[in-house]
A and B are shown apart, each in its own frame.
Chain A
């Protein structure tokens, strides 16, 4: 069974631009969570989607948004990029919502110049 895939793997943007990251969960998994990982703050929860609905949200500004499609694939969008948004963005899928057996993808490394 294929694991969680994330595209693109690397991305370079400039301040003020927007970016869309994509995540394909493991086949059959219906929950997708997004995390931001930085050296200073570690892994921080962004949001969780289940059955196309956002079920949980972390403490991030409204510039960070996401959505989930009927096939469980998910996208997250960051608008008006800031230098501090440079991070590794990780997607994790699980069979159901609020479970602890989350399978992480390799992440998208975003650099904002």
Chain B
């Protein structure tokens, strides 16, 4: 079983929809949680960063961490075609451990 599980999709939504992307994990030592966005033929770019549990909002993006359920989410409001990309969750413990990535979810926002 992988330490981090993420549904690879693909996920297709109409423009303006609310998108929910999720990851589950098994290692309770994870403390730092990130979401990366990767466009085709590009490297991943950091979207959201959260320490421990709670919510974080940045424009149309909201990241949620529920450590009791070992579940993290990324919500995209008013989705745009330019949001079409692969979204990767990543996490690590607080002792300098390596970043563990989810498989990535491919998102397509249709005009």
> Range of interface residues on chain A?
20 to 34
Interface membership of B11, Cβ < 8 A: no
A92, B102: Cβ atoms under 8 Å?
A: no
* A92 with B43, Cβ < 8 A, contacts A42-B103, A101-B49 known: yes
Interface membership of A4, Cβ < 8 A: yes
* Chain A-chain B contacts (Cβ-Cβ < 8 Å), number: 50
Closest chain-B Cβ to A34's Cβ sits at a distance in Å of: 11
**Nearest CB in chain B to that of A91: its residue:** B43
B34, A100: Cβ atoms under 8 Å?
A: yes
Query: How far, in angstroms, from A102 to B98 measured CA to CA in the complex?
Result: 12
A42, B104: Cβ atoms under 8 Å?
A: yes
The A contact surface, by secondary structure, is: strand
Q: Contact string, A36-53, partner B, CB cutoff 8 A, digits 1/0?
A: 000000111100100000
Closest chain-B Cβ to A107's Cβ sits at a distance in Å of: 6
A45, B102: Cβ atoms under 8 Å?
A: no
Interface membership of A98, Cβ < 8 A: yes
| B interface with A by C-beta (< 8 Å) | 32, 34, 36, 41-46, 49, 88, 90, 92, 96-104
